[in-house]
Amino acid sequence: MCRPTYFDVTYSINPWMDPDRPTSAQTGLAQWKWLFDTFVGLGHDIRLIEPTPGLPDMVFAANGALVVDGKVLVARFRHPQRRDESAAYLEWFGHGGWSTVRQAEYVNEGEGDFLFTGAEILAGTGFRSDLRAHDEVREFFGRPVLSLTLVDPRFYHLDTALSVLGDGQIMYYPGAFSPQSRAALTERFPDAILAEEADAAVFGLNALSDGRNVVLPRAATGLADQLREHGYQPVGADLTELLKAGGSVKCCTLELRE
Ligand code: ARG
């Protein structure tokens, strides 16, 4: 995770970001601290990366890399405003004893667009990560990759429209995907939890699950009910300040898989 010390909305690279709307770094920090404490309470082992001044989106650590089997593919950002974040992640992972660390060759926004189910990697494209990055990820990790195309600009990263719950179970908002990708998801995950638009629109799918507890935006009340019906324990988070930049629970969290 990355403390939102320099959090702000000074540019717009997704429809949620309005630089004319005031933001409070202090509120952002308090909300982030709640998330940090909640993860610690759930037993997660958290490592921090130092925020860099001038990189207001760095709080969204999910975008920094994809880490599976101790191998690290560091992001290559689409927008110039975020490009310098990659150097911070290369440096951080360079000191960590990871087996392989390198930067992606094609535009690849890390766990924003690449989600590991435990067996395969679900890969998003359409707004940020390049389709060629999907092949690169397949080769680098030696894992099967399922390519999915996003079509609604509100859900510009895969992790805003789909979340892995554990044990081969996922939840997603069908409207965020192309008809072909929707068909692929139905075939591959026939028992998935399907989110309503109202829950997706408050970033309910930007969630982190440990297989039992699912931390998700508090406003996604319908999705919380659905999760409960499926035996999960929803934990509601208030990250409304960070949502002004188009991010929430999952965006703040990069998973380190050794
Ligand atoms: N403002 C950031 C961007 O548009 C938000 C990133 C959210 N991160 C995520 N994993 N979806 O790049």
| Closest to 197 measured CA to CA, from 161, 224, 244, 163 | 161
Q: How many other CB atoms are found less than 10 A from the CB of residue 213?
A: 18
Residue 11 identity: Y
- Verify whether residue 79 is a known catalytic residue: no
For ligand 1, atom 7: residue with the closest CA:
247
Cα angle 30-88-146, degrees, rounded to a multiple of 5: 90
The pLDDT of 161-167, averaged and rounded, is 95
Ligand 1 atom with the shortest distance to the CA of 109: 10
* 235 has a pLDDT exceeding 90: yes
For the chain, the distance separating the N- and C-terminal CA atoms, rounded to the nearest angstrom, is 16
What is the reported pTM? 0.97
Please give the pLDDT value at position 191. Answer: 96
Q: What is the CA radius of gyration of the chain?
A: 17
For 79-135, what is each residue's pLDDT tens digit?
Answer: 999 999 999 999 999 998 899 999 999 999 999 999 999 999 999 999 999 999 999
Task: Give the single-character DSSP code of 16.
Answer: T
Cβ-in-10-Å burial (0-12, 13-18, 19+) of 182 comes to middle
Residues within 6 Å of ligand 1 by CB: 13-14, 17, 57, 60, 62-63, 82, 112, 157, 159-160, 245-247, 251
For ligand 1, atom 9: residue with the closest CA:
251
Please give the pLDDT value at position 167. Answer: 83
Nearby residues of 222 by Cβ (< 8 Å), 6 or more positions away: 195, 196, 198, 199, 204
For 13-59, what is each residue's pLDDT tens digit?
Answer: 999 999 999 999 899 999 999 999 999 999 999 999 999 999 999 99
* 68 has a pLDDT exceeding 90: yes
Instruction: Map residue 122 onto helix, strand or coil.
Output: strand
Instruction: Map residue 233 onto helix, strand or coil.
Output: strand
Please give the pLDDT value at position 134. Answer: 98
Question: What structural domains and CATH numbers belong to the chain?
Answer: 25-252 (3.75.10.10)
ipTM of the complex: 0.97
Instruction: Using most ligand atoms within 8 A of CB, pick from 8, 11, 18, 157 the residue to mutate for ligand 1.
Output: 157
For 165-202, what is each residue's pLDDT tens digit?
Answer: 998 899 999 999 999 999 999 999 999 999 999 999 99
- Helices of type H across 99-244: 131-141, 179-188, 197-200, 221-229, 240-243
Please give the pLDDT value at position 104. Answer: 98
